[in-house]
Structure 1
Amino acid sequence: MRPSDAIKDKHAIIRLIVDKHGFSNPKIYGSVVRGEDHEGSDLDVLVERGAGRCTLITIGRLCEELSEVLGVAVDVKT
């Protein structure tokens, strides 16, 4: 599945998952924004750090949950 198809109508759930893990303001960037994504592409998400701790573990958990919900690989950057 293309990441651009995976995120259709899922903006609210993405925001909820990002908030749940202590981050905010998710933004999609990369191949999806350029219209160059294809099956097998990952979804690039930029988030802002929240008031809590930002560790590799919390970023990893966020990536994992987003990947499970969307059905595509996800790469998160802060």
Structure 2
Amino acid sequence: MLHGTDRDGSDLDLMVDALPDATLFDLGGLQDELESLLGVLVDLLTPADLAPKVRAKVPAEAQPV
């Protein structure tokens, strides 16, 4: 959506700053809840999940929601 290249069936990529005590179950639950609320597939990542080659680029282009 950010670049205007989304299409029907596109997923929504979201980066979250998880709390230090958040578990994978917490993040998975958040992803499921967001998919239910938004009606689209959600790809939920933390900054640490990003590949090294995009670690600087993605946060610089990110838009808060």
TM-score (norm 1): 0.54
When Rg is computed on C-alpha atoms for both structures, the one with the higher figure is 2
How many residues in Structure 1 have an aligned counterpart in Structure 2?
A: 46
**Higher strand fraction: Structure 1 or Structure 2?**
1
Q: Which runs of 5+ in 1 are unaligned?
A: 1-31
Percent identity for Structure 1 against Structure 2: 43
How far apart, in 1, do the equivalents of 2:43 and 2:18 lie? 15
Q: Which runs of 5+ in 2 are unaligned?
A: 47-65
TM-score (norm 2): 0.64
Structure 1 outlier segments of 4+, above 2 Å: none
Taking only aligned residues, the RMSD between alpha carbons, in angstroms, comes to 1.1
Within-5 A mapping of 1:1-78? 32-51=1-20, 53-78=21-46
